[in-house]
Amino acid sequence: MTYRLYGTPGSLYTGKVRSYLIRNGIRFENRAAGSADFRERIVPQIGRWIIPVLETPEGELIQDGSDIIDWFEARRGDRQPASPEMPRHALISQIFELFGGEGLLRPAMHYRWNFDEINRPFLERDFSAFLAPTGADDETRKGVFAMSSSRMRKAMASFGVSAETIPAIETAYLEFLDLFDRHLSRSPFLLGGRPTIGDWGLIAPLYAHLARDPYPSAIMKTRAHRVWRWVERMNASDPDVGEYVEARPELFPDDEVPDTLLSLLRFVATDYLPEVEAFVTFANRWLAERPDMPAWVSGLDRPQDRVIGQVNYLWRGLPVRVGVLPYRLYLLQKVQEVWDRTSGPDREALDGLLQDTGLSSFVRLRTARKVVRRNHLEVWAPAT
């Protein structure tokens, strides 16, 4: 048996893992989340309906895109590491894992769910093909799409997509595309000649929604051809870097950060840092109200719940109200772990980079208790 990846082609987080497996030459089988096997055998073991889930040939189940990559990295043998060894590259890579998977959800959801005339026929077929029970009749398929699309539209609202924010979401996404496209004129991946964890963060929204759904796919192809090619490359089993002169599978030398990448980091500071600030402040208040909460629990009533509350903040000068997900703190901690393990000149290099890009508070914003993952859930570690 090979590895099995349970998910759907249009799922953002499944796309992250699929790309990692393909690029690393790991043999696997795509399995539909609509299969009876997933519903009846996998979901009860995970404890909630969520994708992606990876099943190893030995029958071990791993849920969560980041955890699946960590699992393979711990057993990578002579494969190139997904996390760069040099400090600035390692930090940048983790920042883009967070920003890709979480910070680009607004454009991903907007461009999927607010262009029904163009997207809907595709989404209806795509969702029902992989979410409805295999072989289901048309009526059942329709019902499955109606249910899942209404859940996703609610999720979109809770990420801060509204009539008021849509114009800014579109402007910001086009700016991001332009910046990333310019950066890719220099190298085939975020940090040079091979992908790292930051590329796998970014591929999540940029593949499943923004490159694959009909409406945003046209935007990417016409406006940011290099980004489109990067999406293809991220899903190729060979290096697929033919348009680059002398591309070698190495990262930028000497922990270098080109100007085009500094510009992308400044974009993250403007676009996403205010949300991180709001999340951490909210989570600390929430924790303070629960001084007796035991360790290793989510603090929520049901295992499938992922949001601890709603927070208001200003995004690009506009009031937004977003759900607070401890998962995002889990990815933020991964950024901070890179900073925590440095000292001396390496620490100075990181501080210089963070200051230069307006991201210094990324390593300072911390919650009183850490989020860890246990039994496929995000739970709170004991207070330190």
Ligand X SMILES: N[C@@H](CCC(=O)N[C@@H](CS)C(=O)NCC(=O)O)C(=O)O
Q: Contact positions toward ligand X, by CB under 6 A?
A: 11-13, 49-52, 63-65, 151, 327
Taking alpha carbons only, the member of 31, 20, 49, 41 closest to residue 376 is 49
Instruction: Report CA Rg, the chain.
Output: 20
Measured from the CB atom, the residue of 118 and 152 that comes closer to ligand X is 152
Strands 28-32 and 3-7: parallel
CA distance 352 to 262: 12
In angstroms, give the least distance from the CB of 233 to ligand X.
22
Q: Which amino acid is at 41?
A: R
Please report which helix (H) or strand (E) contains residue 207, including its range.
helix 197-208
The torsion angles phi and psi of 315, rounded to 5 degrees, stand at -110, 115
Measured from the CB atom, the residue of 220 and 329 that comes closer to ligand X is 329
In angstroms, give the least distance from the CB of 8 to ligand X.
8
> Within a 10 A sphere around the Cβ of 63, how many other Cβ atoms?
22
In angstroms, give the least distance from the CB of 225 to ligand X.
26
In angstroms, give the least distance from the CB of 49 to ligand X.
5
In angstroms, give the least distance from the CB of 11 to ligand X.
4
Measured from the CB atom, the residue of 34 and 65 that comes closer to ligand X is 65
Please report which helix (H) or strand (E) contains residue 92, including its range.
helix 87-98
In angstroms, give the least distance from the CB of 46 to ligand X.
10
Measured from the CB atom, the residue of 184 and 231 that comes closer to ligand X is 231
In angstroms, give the least distance from the CB of 12 to ligand X.
5
Cβ-defined contacts of 134-140 (< 8 Å, 24+): 134/32, 134/34, 134/35, 134/36, 136/34
Q: Which two tokens stand for residue 345?
A: 């000149």
CA distance 272 to 334: 16
Measured from the CB atom, the residue of 84 and 323 that comes closer to ligand X is 323
Q: CA–CA distance from 255 to each of 135, 179, 301 (Å)? A: 52, 20, 45
In angstroms, give the least distance from the CB of 367 to ligand X.
17
The torsion angles phi and psi of 79, rounded to 5 degrees, stand at -70, 150
Measured from the CB atom, the residue of 50 and 82 that comes closer to ligand X is 50
Measured from the CB atom, the residue of 143 and 239 that comes closer to ligand X is 143
Taking alpha carbons only, the member of 5, 129, 137 closest to residue 72 is 5
Measured from the CB atom, the residue of 269 and 325 that comes closer to ligand X is 325
